Structure 1
Amino acid sequence: MPETEFFPAAASLDADPFAPEVLENPLPLQALLRDAGPVVRLERYGVHALARHEHVHAALADWQTFQSAAGVGLANFRNEEPWRPPSLLLEADPPLHDAPRAVLTRILGPVALRRLREAWAEDARELVDRVVRRTEFDAVADLAQAFPLRVFPDAVGLGKEGRHRLLPYGDHAFNAFGPPNALVDKGAPRIAELSAWVDGQCARERLAPGGFGAAVWAAADRGDITGEQAPLVVRSLLTAGVDTTVHALGAVLHAFATHPGQWRRLREDPRLARTAFDEAVRWESPVQTFFRTATRDVEIAGTTVPDGGKVLLFLGAANRDPRRWHEPDAFDLSRDPSAHVGFGMGLHQCVGQHVARLEAESLLTALAERVEHIEPAAAPRRHLNNTLRAWDSMPVRVRLA
């Protein structure tokens, strides 16, 4: 018996997932989408939405049916001009995706992480020691932003000057995946300046020897990628390698500030640092949504998504789906969070996720050594973004060990 006899047509909602109140707190809409059915039609934007873990996971893994090359935002590159050259990692599919992905996988692999581990641990200890002496501070500005902006651009090979521009540039890039709303308008006046600066940092002569960026150019010299591709690959590192890690660190710091029992568990066993980071990525989902585009008429649970139709994948909703997770709203270090889709899944899974985990492990381990207790000192404030779940400010108070 065909699936259409088991499932009704897709539910239809007029909800706006990019409305300010939803970006401030997406959980009610996520629950509504999951409960409405396997596929939900979002009439406001003329797209289909998937919010259950089973279907989000499957769509992310099936790049042949749900392509990234037509854009991972609302804009459809089949008939719309992108605002910048598309990312060779995020907005490309095989065969164009293959060589850049292979180059970055090798550059960001275990050898590089072993080389960085000791230096990043020392950087984290120095930063934490300086910050926690105040006992009250902003965990976003002083830790979640400060640490990635310190160590990751160093690893890429950027100079010290101007790297603060990476955050507003990335903020606009992720806002642009949504509709042309007020958040996009807010970033538009500076984007030409910011894009020019970022593009300039991707040139061979601007990158220090021995860094990730120089390794990308060396790959071009070997013929692994072309000279035209090299700066775009470096740009992908700078676009996706800072903001997402900043907000993932904000997520785990917020989790521990509001879950003192879990902080005690980490202090008792610092080896849980990586589990804590992945559990925070599942629980908070710093990357909330990504679009895909159907490459053919495709049936999902009895609903046909037409060829060229945009599909909005709710990663955050999938990561709190009670069909997949026991007590999904709990931040719990005893959980195995490895099946979360916070880093994507399949061919386009985040190539730098292990770098982000090392940053988190370094920072959390240093904090656990110095801080006995962490708690909110005032109400945190969200930073709204069309794609990212982020914090603007997170005042905390610590008691030193």
Structure 2
Amino acid sequence: MTLTAEPAHDLPTSDVDPFCPEVLEDPLPFHAALREAGPVVHLRRYDVFAFARYEQVRAALVDWQGFQSAAGVGLSNFRHEKPWRPPSLLLEADPPRHDAPRRVLQKILGPRALRKLHEAWLADADRLVDEVLDAQGPEFDAVPHLTEAFPLRVFPDAVGIPQEGREHLLPYGDHAFNAFGPANELVEKGAPRVGELSAWVAAQCAREVLAPEGFGADIWAASDRGDITPEQAPLVVRSLLTAGVDTTVHGLSAVLCAFATHPEQWRRLREEPGLARVAFDEAVRWESPVQTFFRTATRDVPIGGHVIPDGHKILMFLGAANRDPARWGPDADAFDLARDPSGHVGFGMGIHQCVGQHVARLEAEALLTALARRVETIELAGPPRRHLNNTLRAWEALPVRLRPA
């Protein structure tokens, strides 16, 4: 990574493209160089200001007044550019427009509301692990058989969408997260199916398509009560379908990869199954399935000894912040169940923090608990293969070998 300082205000700059295949494949060296360079680095290729240290990333995430989401959380600036789809009421809106939809989802997806799903999801995870071990034997690719399969079993059921067409959820989410980046070949690859996938997702958000019980029906009931408008209801359902599957899939892949490469941590989880949720949060910190998000300065904002000009984009490197030694200590690159991962920014922070994080934690608890009961060791059965995305850190394939307990 080439870094230079602009003499006028000593601002480190870089010509590296953070969305090039080499960086997306292995972003850690770039992240380390950004943190070392300073609290703010100007990325000249896109004329954006990068934050890679925990202190500045967290500060920007919580400062929605200074760094707005309503101008888009991707590279595209909605002040000047038309969004490719109606903006998300959760991710791409600020108070007051953001408030009512978030209140509705916080209630629907909160820990109390999820308790009724707890036993059913644990039982479903037990069945899935038994099915996979019976059908595949000890060696298989964990991505299609576990980390994609489980969220696609339980989450769409919880939302209340029909079985038919659920295979569209992952490519739709993949394109949506790619679209937060520049219009590169990853975006072009998904472009031919945008119309088809968007139309299918929009159709699932209609009241008459959704099951009479589930998250989707609860959202429409909130519109009947006047908590949100009927126009907002389908957009809130769409937020669940856009962000509720891919991110959890990649979080589950991250935690299984972590255990396959850290056998002592797997032994600890088997000894203390109550650490399942801690393990998931540590994996989200360690791997950061959501790597980056943008914001837009609403005024000249001082941060890190520099000023972000009004209307300019900032690029927050969540993955870099989650491995910042200044926050996590000299062993920040280690996956360690003895660590307290609370405070990581893998789910964001502040009023835009991921509203579905409790759902993801429940899915992870269910799958890890089922595996811990049945599997003594997890190891890689071959080299994992990355799936490149402008925003997400994902696995295309994760070959594993399981030794039954």
Q: Equivalent residue for 1:36? A: 37
Paired position in structure 2 for 1:158: 161
Counterpart-to-counterpart distance in 1, 2:309 and 2:16:
21
1:8–1:302 contact (8 Å) kept in structure 2: no
2:12 and 2:40 in contact (8 A); partners too: yes
2:313 aligned residue (292, 310, 313): 310
Q: After the TM superposition, which segments of 4 or more aligned residues of structure 1 sit over 2 Å from their partners?
A: none
Is 1:395 paired with 2:396? no
Mapped partners of 1:58, 1:110: distance in 2: 27
Select 1:143's aligned residue among 143, 146, 162: 146
Counterpart contact for 2:384–2:395, Cα < 8 Å: yes
- Partner of residue 54, structure 1: 55
Q: Is 2:118 aligned against 1:117?
A: yes
- Cα deviation, residue 26, structure 1: 0.3
The answer for the alignment partner of 2:237 in structure 1 is 234
Q: Which residue of 2 aligns with 1:107?
A: 108
Match for residue 250 of structure 1 among 228, 245, 253 = 253
Q: Which amino acid aligns with 1:56?
A: V
Amino acid in structure 2 at the alignment position of 1:329: D
Q: Is the 8 A contact 1:217 1:227 kept in 2?
A: yes
Q: CA deviation at 1:130?
A: 1.2
Residue 210 of structure 1 and its aligned partner are, at CA, apart by 1.3
In 2, distance between residues paired with 1:233 and 1:85? 11
The one-letter code of the counterpart of 1:281 is V
Give the aligned length: 395
- How far the C-alpha of 1:302 sits from its partner, in A, is 2.2
Partner of residue 4, structure 2 = none
Give the secondary structure class of the aligned counterpart of 1:331.
coil
Q: Which amino acid aligns with 1:367?
A: L
Q: What pairs with 1:363-378 in structure 2 (closer than 5 Å)?
A: 363-378=367-382
Indicate the residue corresponding to 2:99 in structure 1. 98
User: How far has the Cα of 1:265 moved from its partner?
Assistant: 0.2
Kindly state the Cα deviation for residue 208 of structure 1 after the two structures are TM-superposed: 0.3
> Aligned partners of 1:218, 1:303: CA distance in 2, in Å?
47
Coordinate RMSD, CA, aligned: 0.9
SS at structure 2 position matched to 1:251:
helix
TM-score, normalised by the number of residues in structure 2: 0.97
The counterpart of 1:260, out of the listed 240, 260, 263, is 263
Structure 1 counterpart of 2:351, which letter? L
Matched ranges for 1:195-206 at <5 A: 195-206=198-209
The corresponding residue for 2:192 is 189
Counterpart code for 1:380: P
Give distance in 1, aligned partners of 2:117 and 2:96.
31
Letter of the 1:358 counterpart: L
Specify the alignment match of 2:349 in structure 1: 345
For the pair 1:294 / 2:297, whether they are aligned, the reply is yes
Task: Give the counterpart of 2:366 among 362, 367, 372.
Answer: 362
Give the deviation of 1:10 after TM superposition: 1.8
Does structure 1 retain, via aligned residues, the 8 Å contact 2:278–2:337? yes
Deviations 1:245-291 (A, max 9, x none): 00000000000011100000000000000000000000000000000
TM-score of the aligned structures, taking structure 1 as reference length: 0.98
Distance 1:64 1:236 in 2: 22
Alpha-carbon distance in 2 for matches of 1:115, 1:19: 44
Distance 1:120 1:193 in 2: 31
Deviation of 1:8 (Å): 5.7
Shift of residue 112 of structure 1? 2.1
The 1-side partners of 2:229 and 2:11 are apart by 44
